[in-house]
Structure 1
Amino acid sequence: MSYRWIDQNPPLADLAARLPADQPLYLDTEFMRERTFWPQLALVQVNTAPEAAPAGMADQGGEHIWLIDTPALDDPGALRELLAQRTLVMHACSEDIEALKVFTGETPARIRDTQIAAALTGFDLQCSYQRLVRELTGTELAKDATRTDWLRRPLSESQLSYARDDVVWLPQMTQILTERLTALGRLGWWEEECDRLLRNAVADVDPALSWRQVKGAGNLEGVALARLVTLAQWRDAMARERDLPRGFVVRDPALLALAQAGPTTREQLAGLDLHPSLVRRDGDTLLALLREGEQQTPPAALPGPPDPAQRQLIKRLRARVAEIGKDMGLEPEILMRRRWLEAMVREPGSVPEPLTGWRHEPIARPLLEMLS
């Protein structure tokens, strides 16, 4: 057997009790979210190796590999205890963090993301786990189970093998990346980036700001925007209550159409080409929300696209970021996001929060000098 399957709380609780409190866990999850608002945690894969295996010697025997069947657990307490106060080492883990929080009710204490570590050593920001394993260990992993139904039981052998492989190589890759970051003097950068990722992943979005997530919201202002604020806040609440994706409650185009037209009758609602079930079930509520929105003071409209002069300045700044990235052996995307750059151009002298840490000296300072 190349892994241990856990579908009951007692062995999971035993595992948590036996592991040293300061031992990191190399972890991945499988979850489903296509038709729900909340992620449905289907599997947690854990590698409990106490230290990275020697180069080329991953835990092929499966002594430290645990596949935890979360739907079979009668309560989340044992998993919560296992993860509590430990450092979780994962790859591209923002959605995994959310899935774990929804299932256990707790936020991980600390995370270390190998995708971020790889980016800080020169890989592109979206480097996949499969590619990183190939580049660092020379091992080619199968991808055939990436998009399958992880909630269906029993899981197939290919699914189980895929799930196991997702944590087998994490200790070795972490060791290699840690050594590279240490040699480059960037280990603190990794810690800073991971701490920021954890904060952002578990931050609760203010329902009053959910209108900002509506595609096309930047085209509205005044009373239409006030209507959208009220509609979007209701949609967000209904998505959570009904456990449906926001688009399953009301799609963005329909939300914009409602906000722009401001219908006052069911007949006018029907004339907006809304889904009949939406009008039938929520028509009266939508009309009431529109009236409520019209009584509210609209927020400031979202910033429009940069003007021609700003676009030219952004182009020059991006060229400078590319030069700095080349000198540092880093892809420009890890140094500067477009939205940060636009914020600096729109508000001269401002420094977005991510640029106040390790990025300040190599990136923020030279760009501020160009803007002064």
Structure 2
Amino acid sequence: MYQFIHQQQDLQNVLNLMDQSSIYGLDTEFIKVDTLWPKLGVFQINISGKVYLLDGAALDLSEFWNKLFNAQQNIFHACSEDIDLIYHYAQQKTLKNVFDTQVGMSFLGHGLQVSYQNALKTMLNVDIEKDQTRSDWLARPLSPEQLMYAANDVEYIMQLSDKVKAELSGKHLLDCALEDCRNLTHEIGQETPMAMLYHDVGNSSPVKAQQTSWI
């Protein structure tokens, strides 16, 4: 189950929960426009097994960004586009607390760009649909199919992370994987200009970003 958050007062409940647990499973759904900058549609977060879908078109996420930077750990799968989006919106680029399950799986011999769908099947024997990848995430209302798709992207990520970390630890590779994640987020920060704040671009047609998650 999940909860779609589009009212600012409801976001406070999520922020309060984030104070009680500082490890989060995260993903984003976005559109890129002619400026090549991402426009956030939905930010998904799993907090202690509870899934929330944050409406990027309606919410002020300033406090949310700060909590991500102060978290014990932010867990993603194929995080490059997500980190770039966070750096762009938060106008900070020092996120050092990331564990990317795709990076972790590469250390376990599953290839450099295993998709989230294949990762779940391989590690947890869980099947999810990826049929809404090219949806318009700025359209409102979002369809039930879009919302379920978005929720599935973080529903199992904590379990996936636990399994990947356990296998890495067993092979004495967890520290290496975490160092690679730190290097990755640093490199993304080096490539993300801070001077350009996001702005709307008239009536330009949205184009779905090229994801690194390899569907």
TM-score tier after normalising by the smaller chain length: 0.7 to 0.9
Deviations 1:244-301 (A, max 9, x none): 9xxxxxxxxxxxxxxxxxxxxxxxxxxxxxxxxxxxxxxxxxxxxxxxxxxxxxxxxx
The one-letter code of the counterpart of 1:95 is: E
Q: CA deviation at 1:156?
A: 1.1
2:75 match: secondary structure: strand
Structure 2 partner of 1:256: none
Deviations 1:17-75 (A, max 9, x none): 343466211000001115332111111000001xxxxxxxxx5xxxx0000001101x3
Residue 77 to residue 178, structure 1, CA distance change in 2 (3 Å): same
TM-score (norm 2): 0.84
TM-score (norm 1): 0.50
Structure 1 partner of 2:185: 198
2:57 match: secondary structure: helix
Structure 2 partner of 1:47: 46
Residue 45 to residue 242, structure 1, CA distance change in 2 (3 Å): closer
Q: CA deviation at 1:243?
A: 6.2
Which of the pair has more CA radius of gyration? 1
Aligned pairs for 1:100-115 within 5 A: 100-107=86-93, 108-115=95-102
Deviations 1:80-119 (A, max 9, x none): 2432311210000111011122223233341110000011
The one-letter code of the counterpart of 1:10 is: Q
Structure 2 partner of 1:131: 118
Structure 2 partner of 1:175: 162
5+ residue gaps, structure 2, are 203-215
Residue in structure 2 matching 1:184, options 157, 171, 178: 171
Q: CA deviation at 1:78?
A: 3.0
Structure 2 partner of 1:27: 26
Matched, 1:82 2:81: no
- Equivalents in 1 of 2:200, 2:159: separation in Å? 42
- Equivalents in 1 of 2:67, 2:199: separation in Å? 29
1:198 match: secondary structure: helix
- Equivalents in 2 of 1:155, 1:16: separation in Å? 23
The one-letter code of the counterpart of 1:88 is: N
Structure 1 partner of 2:8: 9
Q: Quick one: higher RCO (CA 8 Å, sep 6+), 1 or 2?
A: 2
The one-letter code of the counterpart of 1:16 is: L
Residue identity (%):
31
Instruction: Give the aligned length.
Output: 198
CA-based RMSD of the aligned residues comes to 2.4
Do the aligned partners of 1:121 and 1:181 also contact (CA within 8 Å) in 2? yes
Do the aligned partners of 1:33 and 1:39 also contact (CA within 8 Å) in 2? yes
Deviations 1:341-361 (A, max 9, x none): xxxxxxxxxxxxxxxxxxxxx
5+ residue gaps, structure 1, are 50-58, 207-236, 245-372
Matched, 1:120 2:107: yes
Residue 183 to residue 145, structure 1, CA distance change in 2 (3 Å): same
Matched, 1:161 2:160: no
Structure 2 partner of 1:65: 51
